[in-house]
């Protein structure tokens, strides 16, 4: 079945620690990949996206993600997290010409000052 998997449900880090959140998808064909973030009490915001080209994409607030086609993965990274990064992070995919997004279950990140 087509799906998007985020294996980390809740991650707790201290400030300045490095972050890597996993995302794997199971769609064949052409895919576009996204990471969205939902800060407490706020709406979903786009962090970064991959459509084509350089598999290492940079987003807002120092986040980056690497698309590894052979592993069907699109992991999110940040070298040094801040307390303000506390939020829920969603990986999403659209595929095969359709505009509907398929979301992972989300990863809640808690950064301890």
| 77-106: contacts with other proteins (CB under 8 A) | 90, 92, 94-95, 97-106
Q: Which one of 5, 32, 73, 86 is in contact with other proteins (CB under 8 A)? A: 32
Residue 45 or 84: the one with the smaller Cβ distance to other proteins is 45
E strands, the chain, in order: 4-5, 10-14, 19-21, 24-25, 31-38, 45-50, 56-58, 64-68, 73-78, 87-95, 102-103, 107-112
The answer to whether 61 and 47 are in contact (CB under 8 A) is yes
Encoded tokens for 76: 């999110």
The answer to whether 27 and 2 are in contact (CB under 8 A) is yes
Q: Which one of 44, 60, 68, 112 is in contact with other proteins (CB under 8 A)? A: 44
Kindly determine how many residues on this chain lie close enough to bind other proteins according to the rule CB under 8 A. Answer: 25
Q: Which one of 27, 49, 73, 77 is in contact with other proteins (CB under 8 A)? A: 49
Chain residues in the site for other proteins (CB under 8 A): 30, 32, 34, 36, 42-46, 49, 51, 90, 92, 94-95, 97-106
């Amino acid at each position: 079945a087509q799906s998007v998997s985020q294996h980390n449900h809740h991650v707790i880090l201290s400030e300045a620690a490095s972050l890597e959140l996993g995302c794997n998808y199971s769609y064949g064909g052409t895919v576009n990949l996204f990471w969205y973030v939902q800060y407490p009490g706020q709406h979903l915001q786009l962090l970064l996206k991959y459509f084509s080209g350089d598999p290492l994409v940079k987003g807002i607030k120092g986040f980056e993600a690497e698309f590894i086609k052979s592993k069907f993965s699109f992991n999110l990274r940040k070298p040094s997290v801040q307390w303000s990064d506390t939020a829920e992070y969603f990986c999403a995919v659209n595929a095969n010409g359709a505009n509907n997004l398929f979301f992972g279950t989300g990863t809640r990140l808690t950064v301890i000052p």
